[in-house]
Structure 1
Amino acid sequence: MALARRRRKLPQRLMAERMIVSVQTLQRLEAGDPTVGLAVLASALHVLGMTQRLAELVTPDSDRAGISEDLSRLPQKTHAGSDDDLDF
């Protein structure tokens, strides 16, 4: 986060103002403090023009646990259907 801010030549004070948070909150976010809320992260990504990152977090393709659950529910064995099942 700090690198993205510095690449855009945004001082912490200005970035914090645009995010509507204190400089200390921005510093905690940049330091990786897990107590900083998701709304603060979303605000930072918005200010940096990186909101696509949020969309990527919730795409079904990135849900490893959900994919694993789906795979565990698949039948272990399958059987071939009769020729009557092939209704083309």
Structure 2
Amino acid sequence: MDLPIPLPVGRAISKLGSDISLARRRRHISQASLAERIGASVSTVRRMEKGDVRVPIHFFARALHVFGEIQALADLLDTAKDDIGLALADERLPKRVRSRSGATGAL
């Protein structure tokens, strides 16, 4: 059973595909050349540029790598900057920590 794609997800993938198409054309790279560089078929590149959500994410990642933008993907959900996740984790911290018997507080 496939879940329907949420509208914001579809829009984001569509925008990424359009941006990849624009970046490719600005660099004067053909679809065939990009396909070869990312290990995909030309039809996969066309589908990716049209925002087809069925294109595996690794092809998008490989295209970002070709354009020198792979770090943007790596930084998308940087857990060190996840303010909501950090706040939730902090809420679950114990209010106090008791020392175990025989253990010392100093390191």
Specify if TM > 0.5.
Answer: yes
Name the structure 2 match of 1:19. Answer: 38
Matches within 5 A, 1:9-88: 9-60=28-79, 61=81, 63=82, 66-67=85-86, 69-70=88-89, 73=91
Runs of 4+ with deviation above 6 angstroms: none
Report the CA distance between 1:32 and its aligned residue: 1.0
TM-score of the pair, normalised by structure 1: 0.69
Sequence identity, in percent?
42
State the structure with bigger RCO (CA 8 A, min sep 6), 1 or 2.
2
TM-score of the pair, normalised by structure 2: 0.58
Extract unaligned runs of 5+ from structure 2: 1-19, 93-107
Q: Tell me the C-alpha RMSD between the 2 structures.
A: 2.2
Q: How many residue pairs get matched?
A: 74
Extract unaligned runs of 5+ from structure 1: 75-88
* Residue 66 to residue 23, structure 1, CA distance change in 2 (3 Å): same
Cα distance in 1, alignment partners of residues 83 and 45 from structure 2: 30
